[in-house]
Amino acid sequence: MALIAMAVWDTEENRRTELTAKTLQCLYETVDHAKHRIIVVDNNSCEETKQLYRTWMEIYKGYSEWTNFEPLQVIYMNENIGTARAINQAWLLRKPGENAIKMDNDVLIHQNHWLDILEECIVREPKVGIIGLKRMDCIETPWHPMDWYRSELLMLPHELGQPWLIVEKVHHVMGTCQLYSSACLDQIGYLYQMGGFYGFDDALASIRAQVAGFITVHYSHIRITQMDVSDVKLDDDPYTNWKHTYSSRLMDRYNAYRIGLQHGDIPVYNGPEDL
């Protein structure tokens, strides 16, 4: 079982409501809602997005009344508290033994029951702390000339009759759609938000997991699309442009924090009191 946490900040200016709509539709179609639950944390989005939530909450409620569907839950913030802090608000509600997904609200996943496959990888290899779906713009390969991007293919333990599972051990699991094992979260706690709104929480979580003794991997056999401008017929994508500019200003802070984690000067655990 897993908790899917998704942070949303849609405004009239960044025009991301249609992306959120497509992502929620994708989750509805590809996730087993009898096993997994979704919590959206809204960073004070526009009214159009809030109406979208109300529509989907009614759909889930209708199914929940006569099936064992988990209802869709929305946590409303009064301001934009940032991506990682918003995800943490959902993770505070994680049940004992429950794995957790960090997911962006501009994602299409092109295979049913993808979450069950990711959980099966963790069951087969408990050393996997973070497993992510690999976007097509990621460049990790086993033959990459740079150490940071050079990966290692691992065949997971297998019993007769099981499907074969192969993952790619990497230094950094892209945060678009990541599954954190319950065991890993018990060791590293919650996401660390370096910037005021955004910045390197996924990269730092990968390092924290590795320092705690876990491995971080991509599962590349499920196609994932991070929706871009052409998918929603927009002339520009101000939100993505803002993210790139904002994160570039944090690079020096990120490198210093990374070194502190790897040298043991900064603890890997980030507790509720640090949120």
Sheet architecture: strand order including 166-169:
73-76, 37-42, 2-8, 99-103, 177-180, 128-133, 215-219, 166-169, 152-155
DSSP one-letter code for 104: -
Mean pLDDT over 65-77 rounds to 89
| For the chain, percent of residues with pLDDT exceeding 90 | 80
Mean pLDDT over 223-239 rounds to 65
CB 207 within 8 A of CB 130: no
Other CB atoms within a 10 A radius of the CB of residue 57 amount to 15
The CA-to-CA distance between both ends of the chain, in Å, stands at 25
Q: Which tokens sit at 216?
A: 């971080």
Answer whether residue 237 shows pLDDT above 90: no
Helices then strands, counting H and E runs in the chain, come out as: 9, 11
Mean pLDDT over 79-90 rounds to 95
Confidence of residue 244 (pLDDT cuts 50, 70, 90): low
Confidence of residue 230 (pLDDT cuts 50, 70, 90): very low
CATH of span 2-274: 3.90.550.10
pLDDT tens track for 186-220: 999 999 988 776 678 999 999 999 999 999 999 99
**pTM for the full predicted model:** 0.92
Q: Which tokens sit at 89?
A: 């608000």
**What pLDDT was estimated at residue 111?**
97
**What pLDDT was estimated at residue 275?**
66
User: Domains of the chain: which residue ranges?
Assistant: 2-274
